[in-house]
Amino acid sequence: MIGQAGGVEERYELVGLDVEREIGITARFADGHVATFTVGELRLACPCATCRDLRDRGKTPWPLPNGPTTLAISDARFHGAWGVNFTWNDGHSTGIYPFETLRRWSEGDQRR
C-alpha cells in the first residue's frame, strides 16, 4: 500500500479534549479512538514524581489530609504537543499526562 497516512503516530495524536471539571475528560485521537477518564482515575494515576513515590509506598495520592473531599480539575493546559497538565482543586499541579499514556491507559495498560 502506498502512502499510508499517519500510521503509529495517529494513535497518540490528540485532536480533541473535553474537560468536565468535576466528572472527567474525554480525549479524541487522530485515528478516531475516544478515551474517557474520571477525575478520580486521573488523579490516582497522576504521573508526577510525588504521586509515583506515594504509590510506591502503598499510599494513594488522593485524597490528602485536610484537602477537599470532592475532586475537581481547576485548570487544564496543554504541555507542548505531547501532553496535558491538570491543576486540581487541592492545589496539586505537577502531573503531566502524555497523550500516549492516556491512550495506553484507555487500552488497558496499568495506570502508573
Residues that bind Zn ion (CB under 5 A): 46, 48, 51, 95
Give residue for cell 487500552. Answer: 107
Q: Provide the 8-state DSSP code for 34.
A: E
CB of 59 to Zn ion, least distance (A): 12
Q: Give the DSSP letter string of 37-105.
A: EEHHHHHHT--SHHHHHHHHTT--SSSPTTS-SS--EEEEEEETTTEEEEEETTS----EEEHHHHHHH
> Closer to Zn ion at the Cβ: 28 or 52?
52
CB of 62 to Zn ion, least distance (A): 9
> Closer to Zn ion at the Cβ: 29 or 96?
96
> Closer to Zn ion at the Cβ: 51 or 102?
51
CB of 1 to Zn ion, least distance (A): 42
Give residue for cell 502508573. Answer: 112
> Closer to Zn ion at the Cβ: 87 or 106?
87
CB of 27 to Zn ion, least distance (A): 19
